Amino acid sequence: MSIPYVTLDDPRHGEAVQVAPLIRRVIARNPSKFTYHGTGTYIVGSSEPGGDVAVIDPGPISDSHRDALTAALASSRVAAILVTHCHSDHSPLAAWLKETTGAPTVAFGPHALSHGWVEDDTPEELDDEEKQAAATAEAAGEAKVEESLDLDFDPDIRVGDGAIAASGDGWTLRAIHTPGHTSNHMCYWLEEQRALFTGDHIMGWSTTVITPPDGDMRDYFASLQRVKDLDPAVLWPTHGAPVTDARPFIEAFVQHRLDREAGVLRAVREGITMIPDMVELLYVGVSEKLYKAAGRSVLAHLIKLVDDGLVVWDGAQPGVTTPYRPT
């Protein structure tokens, strides 16, 4: 079953675009292999002067995105600032928005610290084109294009699964805890439209990278089922276009992961012990620029297979340079 990816052909960077009733989106100019066309900040609520709104994923440190949000929110009252998780393309601008509007920040919690049993979660290496884009962007006060952690973010309000994260006239956003991509990943359910803001949990243009130790493949499978059980009418990811036929899309996502896990187990049973060799075998046709991220997802599958009793590792701790073999 192939994933029916959806594309976003006209990102309209820096504009507040009404994408649905009660929903506007402003896309930051931080395109990359992690962010697609850029971070889409959602403004949920009334667009009428003085209306209450919630802002979901304020985005990266970027002068132009800050200015675009300032213009988009000029006539609104920001009631809450919701963050899906603490990657630097999602949460850093929350501090500025809180200082500017006085609204509280809301999330599951800060990013969990490393458990210490796997290599440091360093940003993905950039190719020459992206390095040039990053240098140009930094000189212009824009967001950098590599993915990294925002360890400074700690929400004013920590919400658990099922709790109301924010509400206003005619809209209610409920927190849906979806660990997997990160342990603190939270989606937000707009009850009035049966719409789910999915952050990086489910994206229409790409699969999600699961990076141990904070990323967990078993949690990710459970969180995909959690979203499927909600039976959403539409998914609004932070990057890319909405997914309007959610159930078959989620089913394809799950099947893709099951097929990948089966491929990893088959590779180990055939005597392939090292993750880089597994990536070359399993990711035929995928750009080598994505091999490091792919290796992290393979590692997440291997850790799950170890927990399932099907694989063991040689050495003190699992990692991308650890040999693996079947039980």
- Characterize the bridge pairing of strands 164-168 and 186-190: unpaired
Q: What is the DSSP string of 193-240?
A: GTEEEEETTS-SSSPPP--TTT--HHHHHHHHHHHHHH--SEEEESSS
What pLDDT, on the 0 to 100 scale, is given for residue 33? Answer: 87
Distance of CA 259 to the CA centre of its chain: 22
**72 within 8 A of 45, measured Cβ to Cβ:** no
Two tokens at 210? 């699961």
- In this structure, the dihedral spanned by the alpha carbons of residues 283, 3, 214 and 317, taken in order and rounded to 10 degrees, is -30
What pLDDT, on the 0 to 100 scale, is given for residue 315? Answer: 84
150 Cβ partners below 8 Å, 6+ apart?
86, 87, 88, 90, 91, 92, 111
Phi-psi region of 291 (alpha: psi -120 to 50; beta: other; left: phi over 0): alpha
What pLDDT, on the 0 to 100 scale, is given for residue 156? Answer: 98
Gyration radius of the chain over CA positions: 20
**pLDDT digit string (tens) for the chain, length 327 residues:** 689 999 999 999 999 999 999 999 999 999 998 899 999 999 999 988 989 999 999 999 999 999 999 999 999 999 999 999 999 999 999 999 999 999 999 999 999 864 443 443 333 444 444 344 444 434 333 434 345 889 999 999 999 999 999 999 999 999 999 999 999 999 999 999 999 999 999 999 999 999 999 999 999 999 999 999 999 999 999 999 999 999 999 999 999 999 999 999 999 999 999 999 999 999 999 889 889 989 999 999 999 999 999 999 998 888 989 999 999
What pLDDT, on the 0 to 100 scale, is given for residue 147? Answer: 52
CA gap 227, 217 in Å, rounded = 15
> Taking the model in full, what pTM does it have?
0.90
**42 within 8 A of 236, measured Cβ to Cβ:** yes
Q: Angle of helix 246-269 relative to helix 291-307, nearest 10 degrees? A: 80
**298 within 8 A of 278, measured Cβ to Cβ:** yes
